[in-house]
Amino acid sequence: MSLRKQDHHARRRLLPPRGPHRGILIGAFVVLLVTGCTPSPSPTPAPTAPAPVPTESTTPAPAGPALVPEGSAEDNLPFFTQIIQSVWNSEGRGAGRAYVDALVAGGFDKSVMQVTADTSTVGNPAESLQVSVRWGEQCLIGQVGEATGEPVTTVVAALPDGACLLGETRPIDW
């Protein structure tokens, strides 16, 4: 067979058959062509529930640490520290009463507090001042003053007699 006859037979196999089925095949081809070129309808989004409308809370969230009455001394150290730092940054930084009053205002129990004197034995301002709050078997202790620089706070075990500070402390009688 010649190359020309092979070419003719190959083309003929590519063309749709002649006869009554040729129209059906051409029609099916056109339908497929047209449906493949038309954009399919985009799916309709499912209805969604409306977003919840934020409401104002009747109790605002605390801006920072807060007293944790049922918590441990460690749980309350951040709040204790915040109060000590706040007084240190105020005009009352050298007065033990200012620390006690601020701790009481924060919710700590005055009856379990101790504070050292504001002045030395010769009447000079104390180089450092300590204030404590007993919390169960532990103590929250803050130390401030020119000798310490920035306030220092910590949690330590209470002394065997239940006190938090060694040595002489001043009475908290106000």
Over residues 116-171, the pLDDT tens digits come to 999 998 999 999 999 999 999 999 999 999 999 999 999 999 999 999 999 999 99
Q: β-strand 113-115 against 129-135: which pairing, if any? A: antiparallel
Q: What is the largest CA-CA distance in the chain?
A: 131
> 56: buried, middle or exposed (CB in 10 Å: 19+, 13-18, 0-12)?
exposed
> 17: buried, middle or exposed (CB in 10 Å: 19+, 13-18, 0-12)?
exposed
Assign 19 a pLDDT band (cuts: 50, 70, 90): low
Position 112 pLDDT exceeds 80: yes
pTM of structure: 0.64
* Residue 29 C-alpha from the chain's centroid: 63
CA distance 141 to 93: 16
77-109 per-position pLDDT tens digit: 999 999 999 999 999 999 999 999 999 999 999
Round the CA-based radius of gyration of the chain to a whole number and report it: 43
40-60 per-position pLDDT tens digit: 444 444 445 455 555 554 555
CA distance 101 to 107: 10
Domain boundaries in the chain? 3-37, 73-157
Whether the CB-CB separation of 70 and 136 falls below 8 Å is answered with: no
